[in-house]
Amino acid sequence: MNPLLQDFNTAPFSKITTKDYKPAIKKGIEIAKSEINEIVINTEKPTFENTTVALDFTGEKLNRITSIFFNLNSAETNEEIQKIAQEVSPWLSEFANDITLNEALFKKVKAVFDNRNNLKLTPEQETLLDKQYKSFARNGANLNEADKTTLREIDAKLSKLSLKFGENVLAETNAFELHLTDENDLAGLPESVKEAAKEVAKSKEKEGYVFTLDYPSYIPFLTYADNRELRKKMAIAAGKKAFQNNEFNNEQIVLDIVNLRQKRANLLGYKTHAHFVLEERMAETPENVINFSNNLLEKAKPAALREFKNLENYAKKLDGINKLQKWDGAYYSEKLKKELFDLDQEILKPYFKLENVIEGSFEIANRLFDLHFEEVFTIEKYHEDVKTYNVTDSNGNFIAVYYADFHPRKGKRNGAWMTSYKPQQIKNGINERPHVSIVCNFTKPTETKPSLLTFNEVTTLFHEFGHALHGMLANTTYNSLSGTSVSWDFVELPSQVMENWCFEKEALELFAKHYETGESLPMEYVEKIKESASFNEGMQTLRQLSFGLLDMQWHGQDPSEITSIKEFENNAFAETKLYPDVAENCMSTAFSHIFQGGYSSGYYSYKWAEVLDADAFDYFLEKGIFNKDVATKFKENVLSKGGTEKPMVLYKRFRGKEPKPDALLKRAGLI
- Give the C-alpha separation, 588 to 644, whole Å: 34
Helix (H, G, I), strand (E, B) or coil at 418: strand
- Give the C-alpha separation, 373 to 363, whole Å: 9
Q: Please state at what angle helix 103-114 crosses helix 123-137, rounded to 10 degrees.
A: 140
Q: Active site includes 464?
A: yes
Q: How many CB atoms lie within 10 A of CB 338?
A: 15
- Per-residue DSSP letter, 625: T
Give the contacts of 439 (CB within 8 A, at least 6 positions apart): 74, 75, 405, 412, 416, 417, 418, 419, 464
Q: Please state at what angle helix 492-499 crosses helix 605-623, rounded to 10 degrees.
A: 50
Helix (H, G, I), strand (E, B) or coil at 491: coil
Cβ pair 357, 440 in contact under 8 A: no
The per-residue DSSP string of 585-620 comes to --SGGG-HHHHTSS-TTTTTHHHHHHHHHHHHHHHH
Cβ pair 125, 478 in contact under 8 A: no
Give the contacts of 420 (CB within 8 A, at least 6 positions apart): 67, 434, 435, 436, 437, 471, 483, 484
- Per-residue DSSP letter, 8: -
* CA 600 vs CA 209, 276, 464, 513: distances in Å: 38, 11, 20, 40
- The catalytic residue among 167, 464, 492, 499 is 464
For 381, how many CA atoms within 13 A lie in the half-sphere containing its CB? 20
Closest CA to 540 of 338, 358, 297, 361: 297
Query: Would you name the residues annotated as active-site residues?
Result: 464
